[in-house]
Amino acid sequence: MFEKVSTALDFQAREQEVIKFWNENNIFKKSMDQRAGADVWTFFDGPPTANGKPHIGHIETRALKDLFPRYWTMKGKSVTRKAGWDTHGLPVELEVEKALGLDGKEQIEAYGIEPFIKKCKESVWKYKGEWERMSERVGYWADMENPYITYDNDYIESEWWSLKRIADKGLLYKGHKVVPYCPRCGTALSSHEVSQGYKEVKERSAVVRFKVKDQDNT
């Protein structure tokens, strides 16, 4: 007979107990060391931006990202789990513009490009501690001590190296694509950036059609 499972479990205390055990016994490192020399399966974290607080959607992606490295580790692979930080992009610039009371490229240039970049680099680490605590609480295993950082020259040069290799193989081409554009920011927008400020509005313009003189049906 099985003993009845108690309904008085304190799940939060149990989680903290497991995290404490993992940290005190360096379990993540041991799991890596056990697979030293095995076939490699590499995982690079699609990096979050740490200038915004983590939310429930990030917890979901953390859980999914953790699933595959654990699976392949259990299958005997040596799984490189590289954490990363996204330190580029419009959200970072907008956050700093708001903090400095600036509006648009002209005011950024008047403030100074180099000082503005410095402020952006400071901004991206604003909530780093909260991201690390959240990752630990959900049991997300990744090398957070040696992450890749997208503003590091090593990372930027590796991107250019990859593009050069792709270009050398003739896999880059010039084409045309319709994309959302922000006239204030002077840049194209990703679908994610568009959705941040998306709202439906009523269009009050009046459109009138006139026939073109001396042309049929135009």
Annotate the chain with DSSP letters as a single string: -PPPPPS---HHHHHHHHHHHHHHTTHHHHHHHTTTTSPEEEEE--PPPTTS---HHHHHHHHHHHHHHHHHHHTT-EEEEEEEE---SHHHHHHHHHHHT--SHHHHHHH-HHHHHHHHHHHTTTTHHHHHHHHHHTT---EEEEEEETTSHHHHHHHHHHHHHHHHTT----------EETTTTEE--HHHHHHT-------------PPTT-TT-
47 is a domain residue: yes
Q: pLDDT tens, 55-81?
A: 898 999 999 999 999 999 999 999 989
Which range, of 130-144, 152-166, 197-211, averages the lowest pLDDT? 197-211
User: Could you tell me the sign of the dihedral formed by the alpha carbons of 67, 72, 76, 79, in that order?
Assistant: negative
Domain carrying residue 63: 11-87+124-151
31: Cβ–Cβ under 8 A, 6 or more apart, which residues?
Answer: 73, 141
Choice between 75 and 217, residue whose per-residue pLDDT is larger: 75
C-beta of residue 120 within 8 angstroms of C-beta of residue 89: no
Give strand pairing partners of 81: 43
Q: Is the pLDDT of residue 213 over 80?
A: yes
Q: What is the pLDDT of residues 143-187, one digit of tens each?
A: 989 999 999 999 999 999 999 999 999 999 999 999 888 888 888
- In-domain check, residue 50: yes
Is the per-residue pLDDT at 104 higher than 90? no
pLDDT at 102 over 80: yes
Q: Is residue 98 part of a domain?
A: no
Residue 51 lies in a domain: yes
CB 45 within 8 A of CB 142: yes
* Whether the Cβ atoms of residue 110 and residue 103 lie closer than 8 Å to each other: no
Give the other-Cβ count within 10 Å of 19's Cβ.
14
- 81: domain CATH number? 3.40.50
Domains identified in the chain, total number: 1
Domain-located, residue 64: yes
Residue 96 has what pLDDT?
92
The number of angstroms, rounded, from the C-alpha of 129 to the middle of its chain's C-alpha atoms is: 16
| Strand-pair category, 143-149 with 181-182 | unpaired
Distance CA 9, CA 208 (A): 70
Beta-carbon count within 10 A of 130 CB: 13
Residue 138 in domain: yes
| 43 within some domain | yes
Position 100, amino acid? L
Q: Does 170 fall in a domain?
A: no
Average pLDDT over residues 111-116: 94
Q: What is the reported pLDDT for 217?
A: 85
Q: Is the pLDDT of residue 122 over 80?
A: yes
